[in-house]
Amino acid sequence: MVTRGVAEIVENKAGNFQIIITSIPYRVNKANLITKIAELVRDKKLEGVKAMRDESAKDIRIAIDLKGTSHPQSVLNYIYKHTQLEEAFHYNMVALVNGVPETLSLKGILEEFVTHRMTVIRKRTEYDLRKAQEREHILLGLKKALDHIDQIIKLIRGSKDTPEAHKKLMSEFKFSAIQATAILEMKLSRLAGLERKKIEDELKAVQLFIDEMKAILSSPKKILGIIKDESKEIKEKYGDERRTRIIKGGAQILSVEDLIADEENALVLTAGGYIKRTNPDEFRKQKRGGVGVVDLDTKEEDFVTMLLITSTHSDLLFFTDKGKVYQTKMYDIPEGRRATRGKSVQNFLPLFEGEKITSILPMPKEVKKSESSLMMVTKQGVAKKVSTASFHDVRISGIIAIKLDGGDSLISASFVHKKDTVIIVTAKGQAIHFKESDIREMGRTAMGVRGMKLGKGDEVISAETVSNSVNSATIMVISNNGYGKKTDIDEYKIQNRGGSGIKTAKVTPKTGNIISAKIFSSDEAEVVAISKKSQVIRVDAKEIPVLGRQTQGVRVMKLREGDSIASLICL
C-alpha cells in the first residue's frame, strides 16, 4: 500500500510558487523528512528549490519556496519519489486457513477474520453456558434444600461429622456431590424469606441465560449479529475521524499528468526563444480592424512568432529550422499571465546555438493511435511525409525529422490523413494545392521531394492540410501589414506536386508580403493575429470577408507604426 502526504502548490502574494506540506504519512518523522529534502537540494539532485521553512504549530506545515525557473509539479513529484513524503506501507496478508498458512486477498482475509470471530464467540458462549448450567445445578439443589430445610437440619445435627452428613444428603435426598457441598456451606442467613426469594430469582435468571446461550449456539445468524454489534461497539468506543483518504486504484506512483487538470491552454513562443502557456480566455474577442491588446512584455527587438491552443496533456513536437524535432509535455511549459514574458525555451529543450523553433505541433493521444502521417515543408519548397509512429517517443536530445540542403530550413509540419490535400503558400502570394498521396512516406533522415517550384526571391511561408472530412473550407491569408482575406478552397484546383502554383493574393507595397495562411472549415472559428510588438486581436472568422484569389484583402488589424504581423492562428 502506498501512503502519501498532503501537499499543494500555491502562489504567494509576490507571484512566486510554493509547495506547502500539511500532512505526512504514518510513521514518518517530520525532522527526518525535512533533513532529506535539504540533502537533495544541497547535493543538487533536487533543482528549483530556493528555501524551506518549518512553520508547524499544532498542525504540520512545511513551506518550500521555489525558484522562478522551476516547474512546481516536477519538484513536488521528485519529492514524492525520493523522500518519505510518499512511501510503501507494508502489511502481512498471511493467515492460517485450517492450520495452513495462506496469502489472502483483502476479501479473503476479512472472511477468515469473520470465521475466526465466529469460532471465538461460539467457544465463549459454550463456556458461559457450561458455567451457567453448573450454577443452575447448585441453585436447584439449594431450592430443594430450602423446601426440606427442617429435615436437612435434623440430618446434619444427627451426623457425627461433615463427611457423614455429606453422604446422608446424597443418599436420602438424592443430591449430587456438588449440591451436597453447597448445602453444607450454606449460611444460616440464607434461611430468611428474602434470601429464599433471591435464590429463586437467580435461578430464573440463570435459566433464561441458558436458553439464550443455547439459542445463540443453534443460530449462525445470531452469531454474525453479535460480531456486528461488537464491531459497532468498538467503533463507538475507540473510533475517531479518519485522518487519511483512501483512493481506489493500484499501488503506483502518480505521474505528473495524473496531478494536472486536462484543460485547454494557449502556448506562446517569441522569436527570442521565450515560451509560456496561459489561459486562452485572456485574449478577448474584438472586432476586425481593432488595435488589439498587448500579449506579453517582450524584450527589445523580440516579438511573438507562434500561438497555439491545445490540451495541457498534449505531447508537443518542436520542429526546428535545422530539421530536428524535440518533444515535451504541454504541462512542462511554465504557466504565466498574458502580460508576462515567460521562460527561455532552452530551459526545456537542448537546442544548439542558433537553432530556432519554426513549428510546434501538439500530438494528442488519439492522434497517436490513428493511421496518420506528418507532412513537412521547407522554405525552398521541399515536402516530405513521415509516419507519425516515427515520433511517438522522441529522445531528450531530439531526433532528425528531415535532412536539409545547405541554406534550406524547415518551416512547417502538420498531420495528414489518407485523402487529405495540402496547400503550400509563398510570401509573394503563390499557392499550390495537391493530394497528400502525391508524396510517399519516407524515413526520418530522407531529404524529401519537390513540393512547389518557387519564383526568384520567393519562399514558402505556410503549408496547410485540408481534411477530406469537411465539405467546404476557406483559406485565410494575412499580410505583413495586417491585410487579410478568406478564399474558398474550391478556387484552388488540385494540381500535381512540384508546380509553381497559382495566385492566392495580390501582394503590393501597401499589403506587404504574405506572412501566414490558415485553413478554416467553419465560420464559427475564431482568428487570433499577433504582431511583432505583441499586439493580439481575436475576432470571429465570419468577420473576415471571402474574396477572390486575385484580391489583396481587407484590414484585419490596425498596426502601430513600425509594427507588423508575426503569426496567425485559428481557434
CATH, domain range 2-88 = 3.30.1360.40
pLDDT at position 73 is: 79
Question: Which residues are CB-contacts of 335 (< 8 A; sequence separation ≥ 6)?
Answer: 265, 276, 277, 278
Residue 313 has pLDDT above 60, yes or no: yes
Cα(265)–Cα(312) distance, integer angstroms = 6
pTM: 0.57
Question: Which residues are CB-contacts of 343 (< 8 A; sequence separation ≥ 6)?
Answer: 69, 274, 275, 276, 334
* Residue that is written with C-alpha cell 452428613 in the block: 165
pLDDT in tens, 275-305: 888 877 665 445 544 444 444 445 555 666 7
CA Rg value for the chain? 43
Among 2.40.50.100, 3.30.9.10, 2.120.10.90, 3.40.50.150, what is the CATH number of 260-570? 2.120.10.90
pLDDT in tens, 388-403: 888 887 887 889 999 9
Q: Which of 118-127, 241-250, 370-379 has the lowest mean pLDDT?
A: 241-250
Locate all alpha helices (DSSP H) within 15-148, ordered by sequence.
30-42, 72-82, 106-147
- Domain chopping of the chain, boundaries: 2-88, 96-218, 260-570
pLDDT at position 89 is: 78
With bands split at pLDDT 50, 70 and 90, how would you rate the model's confidence at 428? very high
pLDDT at position 253 is: 55
Average confidence score pLDDT of the chain: 85
pLDDT at position 232 is: 94
- Cα 160 from chain centroid? 93
With bands split at pLDDT 50, 70 and 90, how would you rate the model's confidence at 217? very high
CA distance from start to end of the chain: 44
Fold of 96-218: Topoisomerase; domain 3 (1.10.268)
Task: Give yes or no on whether 2-88 and 260-570 have one common fold.
Answer: no
Q: Rounded to the nearest 5°, which phi and psi values hold at 301?
A: 70, 10
- Cα 117 from chain centroid? 41
337 and 296 in contact (C-beta within 8 Å)? no
pLDDT at position 303 is: 64
Question: Length of the chain, please?
Answer: 571
